[in-house]
Structures are given as structure tokens and as C-alpha cells.
Amino acid sequence: MTDRPTARPARAHFSSGPCAKRPGWSAAGLATDSLGRSHRSKIGKARLQRAIDLTREVLKVPDTHRIGIVPGSDTGAYEMAMWTMLGARPVTMLAWESFGEGWVTDAVKQLKLDATVVTAPYGELPDLTRVPQSGDVCFTANGTTSGVRIPNYDWIRDDREGLMLVDATSAVFAQDVDWDKVDVLTFSWQKALGGEGGHGVLILGPRAVERLESYTPAWPLPKVFRLVSKGKLTEGIFVGETINTPSMLAVEDCIDALEWAQSIGGLVEMQARADANAQALDRWVQATPWVEHLCADAAIRSNTSVCLTLPGASPEVPKAIASLLEKEGVAFDIGGYRDAPPGLRVWCGSTVDAADIEALGPWLDWAHAQVTAG
């Protein structure tokens, strides 16, 4: 029987969304002057603009791209892009995990587009070099529920005719983005920043703006999706004038996370922390006979949402491990996603400390031994 470990992770937060707060986070450390104020007030607009400016600085978003804060988390941001831009050209939907499959459902069943659907099993990628680029392409940069990421953006042509719409909610701040290859990118604060849910970020390149101003979809658009007025982009959305009322508490929390990111060295250090966390977990996986990566190919394996499988185990085993470790206060929310193959999922983004990943390994061994004993 594996001995019960004595060392515990200092923070047991390994959820893949909402994710761990930054190290040292405290609600008492948040600025509060904007709370209880209108988001349209001078201070409200200034703090929203501050969140946008910090996002641009940390992610190194070029001036050619606009950044807006929108409702509905990453889902709202991505559906806003789909509903307002798709339909002008043929569209290819890429899916290799549940969120990509969700975008397929939106395109085919809701928007009723005659889309080309390209899929791959959990843990794999399709051949990206064969993706047609005369039309629009929708894909997830990092499969949160499969632990698979695109290796790079080299497969996207500079002379593409369509738009590239990228759901990057589990990729930004941990993986490189080639902004020359991205026309639309979305994410939410609740992932890599450890922020609060309910707010999405929509980043538009010049080709996306051109599409918005030159194309009117055949279907009606709800108010929260409308990015254009009288044929012109509503520029206010991209300078802090949100479509609906935001939570200023969530905005302040996002600003706190972005200021922390700057303080530790910006994007380079954020990516290095995620890499170190994923490597620490991988060392444990390589030394552990009862567990494997769901994504076998290290070249396309996520460094944030790392998904693990237990070969030969019943689906109840990973569920029992996750439940036992939560009861022990050692690891919260590490069960695999409900639509993914049974397994475990450990968030390794930059707000997690590598020391906590290292401390988690022995507890996983202990819990596995407890669950499978006898």
C-alpha cells in the first residue's frame, strides 16, 4: 500500500476553469473605487480601458487588432464572431474535442450553414495542412477537454481568402499566438488569468473588421451580438464601452491578474511557468505505470489543460480518485470533462505553482492505491 503523503500542495486549485487565482491573490488587494459606480462613469470607462490596455501589452497584441470586452465568457465572444461573420464564404469547422464540437453544432444546426466538418478523435489533431483556406475556418487553439493544442500557426497561409476564427481561451498567456495569422481570437478571464466568469474578450484583426462592415448575415442578431451600427464597426466596444453591464468587480480582478503578469516578466514568464508546470506533471506521468497522457504526441500536447487517462481502469476509478482528493483538500476539480474519455485533468497554467504540481503526484499515487485496493 502506498504511504499517505505528508507534504501537501499549498494551493489545491487545479480546476480547468475557473482556474487558480494568481499566487498571493487576496480579495483585499483589489482596487475598489470603481465598485458601486456606473460602468459608463469616468472611472468605470477608465478601468475597462485599463483592462484592455493591459491585455494588449501582456499578450503583445499589435495595434492593427482591436480588443473588446463582451458578455457571455468565451462562449459569448466566439458565438458573437460566428453569428456576425460566418455565411459570407464557405466555412470549415475543425473539431477534436467538445468545445470544437459545440461550434460545429452552432454552425450546422443553429446557423444552418453547409459547413465542411473536419474532426479527429480525442487526443489527436487532423492534418492541418489540408485545411482549405478559400473560406472561413473555425477552430480551438487548445482543446481544453482533450489536452491537445495546435503546434503553431504555420499551416495558415498569408494569402488566405477567408477568416481564421480562433477560440484560444485555454491557450492565451501560455502559448504563442501569430497575430498575422489570426483574424478573430477569443478567450475568457476565468482560464489562464484565474479571473471571474461571465466576461469574454473579443480580438478583431483588420480583415475581420472589413467583413463586419461589408457583410450582413441572413439571420437576426440579438442585441448582445451587434458589433456594427449603420455599416460601421461600433468602435466604443473596443475602448471600454461594453454592450451590456459588466461586473466591475470582475474587471478589477482581471486588472489585478494582468498587473501580476507584468510584474513577473510578462508573457515570456507566463509561458515559462505553464511549461514548467506541464513538465513537472509529465515527469510524474512518465514515472507512473497506471496513468498515461490522453494526448500521446508531446508536440501537440497542451501545457495548460493536461488530460490523463487510466488504461484498463473502469470509469469509476478516476471519479473516485478526484472525489477522494477533493475530500482530503489536496486537489479540487480534477475530474475529466463530462464529454471526454474518462480520466483526470490537471490545469497547469501560469497561475499554478510548479511546487504544487510536484506535491500533487504522490497524492495521486496514494489515492489510486486507496481506490483500487482489494
CATH superfamily of 265-372: Aspartate Aminotransferase, domain 1 (3.90.1150.10)
pLDDT in tens, 278-316: 999 999 999 999 999 999 999 999 999 999 999 999 999
pLDDT in tens, 160-217: 999 999 999 999 999 999 999 999 999 999 998 999 999 999 999 999 999 999 999 9
Say yes or no to pLDDT of 342 above 70: yes
CATH class of 33-261: alpha beta
374 falls in which pLDDT band (50, 70, 90)?
low
Q: CATH 3.40.640.10 region(s) of the chain?
A: 33-261
Q: At what angle do helices 266-286 and 354-372 cross, to 10 degrees?
A: 30
Percent of the chain with pLDDT over 70: 99
C-alpha to C-alpha distance for 198 and 208, rounded to whole angstroms? 24
Say yes or no to pLDDT of 90 above 70: yes
Instruction: Determine the pLDDT at residue 338.
Output: 86
Mean model confidence pLDDT for the chain: 97
Residue 39 near residue 48, CB atoms below 8 Å:
yes
Q: For 13, which DSSP code?
A: B
Matching residue, cell 441572413: 218
Q: CATH 3.90.1150.10 region(s) of the chain?
A: 265-372
Kindly give the residue spans of alpha helices, DSSP state H, lying in the chain: 42-59, 73-85, 98-105, 206-214, 248-264, 266-286, 316-327, 354-372
What's the start-to-end Cα distance of the chain, in Å? 10
The amino acid at residue 85 is: M
Say yes or no to pLDDT of 1 above 90: no
Residue 89 near residue 214, CB atoms below 8 Å:
no
pLDDT in tens, 223-275: 999 999 999 999 999 999 999 999 999 999 999 999 999 999 999 999 999 99
